[in-house]
Amino acid sequence: LTNLTPATVTGGIAINALGRLPIGVYKGTAAFWDLDKAVNQPLVLVEQKYVNGILDAREPNYDLLNIAVPALDPIGTAHTGTLTVPAGEIWYVNTIIGRSAIPGAGSQIGFNWYCSMWTDRVGALGHGQPYHGVEALSAVNTAAVHFDDFHTTGPLFNQFAKDALLRLPAGTVLTAIFTTRTLATTPAAACTFEVYGFIGKILVA
């Protein structure tokens, strides 16, 4: 016992450490209550109880991207657009939709999107991790609608969907990419990237 120090028995946590409240001894070691986990983190659930605005792809360059794939677009050409969560807002997203119009006989359009919050350990585009490991493709000469859902009641809930609302703090960037595949597009194809959800109340930094 003479070799024990305060740092040893507390795991190096100072008695006056911010966010740590000593509550006694557990298994021979001083126990601390992590106030961040106990008080702050649960507020994420409360943030979702406030609907301070609607996200439903009604406002271009806010919750909607219009991306045009021009006629005679060469194979492999990527068309990119971005949306950024504005300062002072917290977004809760339940669905992302990527739509592409008919690209012409023999043509296909690929779709993927990226989130700057997610670490991309494989790619090198710098947009964050892509949602799809392999881009979603339209059928040949066919318009396409791709649903990426963050709730269990989505119309196409499958192994790619997530059972949690996507929380996006201010400054988060969503990047959408539509790419010409198979054959050059004829005629031009209008594509959209749509965000659905709501604006919550910021309670957790």
Residues 98-114 pLDDT 10s = 999 988 878 889 999 99
- What is the domain extent for residue 111? 51-199
Distance CA 31, CA 29 (A): 6
How many Cβ atoms are within 10 Å of 22's Cβ, its own excluded?
14
Q: 57 and 137: one domain?
A: yes
Q: 99 and 148: one domain?
A: yes
- Outline where the chain has alpha helix (H): 6-9, 35, 43-47
Domain count of the chain?
2
| Conformational region of residue 77, where left means phi above 0, alpha means psi within -120 to 50, and beta covers everything else | beta
Q: 12 and 78: one domain?
A: no
pLDDT band at residue 36 under the 50/70/90 scheme = confident
Note whether residue 205 is domain-resident. Answer: no
Q: 17 and 79: one domain?
A: no
- 71, 186 contact by CB (below 8 A): yes
Note whether residue 46 is domain-resident. Answer: no
pTM, 2 dp: 0.82
Share of the chain above pLDDT 70, in %: 81
Kindly state the tokens that stand for 71.
């006629």
> What DSSP character marks residue 104?
-
Residue length of the chain: 205
Residue 24, pLDDT score: 66
Note whether residue 204 is domain-resident. Answer: no
Higher local confidence (pLDDT), 198 or 151? 198
Note whether residue 1 is domain-resident. Answer: no
Q: 90 and 31: one domain?
A: no
Q: 18 and 69: one domain?
A: no
Kindly state the tokens that stand for 19.
């966010």
Q: 35 and 72: one domain?
A: no
Q: 140 and 102: one domain?
A: yes
**Where are any strands of DSSP class E within the chain?**
20-26, 29-34, 53-56, 64-69, 78-84, 90-100, 108-115, 129-130, 136-137, 144-149, 166-169, 173-181, 189-199
96-105, 136-145, 149-158 — which is least confidently predicted? 149-158
- Give me the chain's average pLDDT, please: 86
